[in-house]
Amino acid sequence: MLGDDLRFALGMAVERARKDRHEFLTLEHLLYALLHEPRAAEIIEACGGDMAAVEKGVEEVLGDFESLPGDGEYDPVQTVGFRRVLQRAEILQKRLAIALCPYGLCRYRNGSRQRARYLRCPVSW
């Protein structure tokens, strides 16, 4: 199960592909959507990324994609790379899931439990 922020970004990526009538849903569409997601933009900037330059580059790449002819509704096809990123996100989310346990907030990684600070769990089980 993906987080709300990622689900919102995925929806935005699909809408961009539909709006531009792109046949495929690509990683560039996902990056476009993440650039408009505040937490992702914060991370990119914290890593030294120039948001304006990245957004301009993504817009140029998306502008070079061919548009499908016609007016009918359709669903863009996910590329293999797009699907792999989604699969990896789900796998990582499961491996790094956070849950409350009797001993406080515990991180579960590869089946092992590590004791952590007492905090409220952001994940509902």
For residue 108, the cross-strand partners are 113
CA distance 15 to 78: 13
Say which residue, 96 or 110, is predicted with more confidence. 96
Q: How does pLDDT run across 8-24, given as a tens digit for each residue?
A: 899 999 999 999 999 99
Q: What is the pTM of this model?
A: 0.72
CA distance 87 to 81: 10
Q: How does pLDDT run across 77-100, given as a tens digit for each residue?
A: 999 999 999 898 888 777 666 444
Q: Which is it for strands 24-25 and 77-78: parallel, antiparallel or unpaired?
A: parallel
- Topology of the domain covering 4-78: Double Clp-N motif (1.10.1780)
Residue ranges of domains in the chain:
4-78
